[in-house]
Amino acid sequence: MKNLTVISAATILAVSFAAVSFAADKKPAADAKKPAVEAKQPAAIKNVKKENTTYITATVEAVDLQSRIVTVKRPNGNLVDIKAGDQVRNLDQVKVGDSVNITYYESIAAKVYKPGEMPQGSTATVSAERLSKPGEKPAGIIGAQETVTATIESISPKKSTVTLKMANGKYKVVKIEDKRNLEGVKVGDEVMITVTETLAISVTPAAKK
């Protein structure tokens, strides 16, 4: 049986790097009409972004109110445990046979900066919104966004992978999907990666027989 916990940006981030390819714009030519100080500002960097939205409809097979775990069956027959956090209201309204509608959105964006030009630090935010009123079937949206920074330590000879040194000192090997996205990118360049996730869940009553 598989487990589905309601969003953890740090966990998803750890397995999401493989979906990102990096790219850097060429540095724009300085405009003679602009003050010299503006020419020294960080060069515009191309934002490489991948987005994906998944829609799942499942049927409630069991509800454990004490552990707050709802077991659902997907159309392919797989059973999945959904852990309902404390923010989930009206869990006692969920019944066997109800339909659970899940919409999951994920966006991964990467920006490459030349050494010393990237803003420093990492951030993480989590937000949740209840959409159900007392007595109604549970419904809500939870979202998370995390930004981390890294330095390019090495690029494989065939430009198929990049080794990143994360801000915490650990290393991460990233598979590059399109070699053209490495044009202009060099060892020592800095990378800012932002992962955004949104999970929306709603429950609808089972059809009356």
174-191 tens-digit pLDDT:
888 888 788 888 899 998
Identify the pLDDT of residue 83: 80
Task: Evaluate if residue 5 carries a pLDDT over 80.
Answer: no
Distances (CA, A) of 97 to 82, 103, 104, 173, 205: 15, 19, 22, 44, 8
Point out which residues pair with 3 in neighbouring strands: 81
Q: Rounded to whole angstroms, how far apart are CA atoms 206 and 172?
A: 46
14-61 tens-digit pLDDT:
333 333 443 333 333 444 444 444 434 444 345 678 889 988 888 999
100-147 tens-digit pLDDT:
888 888 898 888 888 888 877 667 676 656 556 666 666 677 788 888
Distances (CA, A) of 117 to 114, 120, 151, 168: 6, 9, 12, 19
Which residues have a Cβ under 8 Å from the Cβ of 199 and sit 6 or more positions away? 6, 7, 102, 103, 104, 105, 141, 142, 143
More confident residue, 3 or 67: 67
Tokens encoding 208 = 């009356």
Identify the pLDDT of residue 124: 67
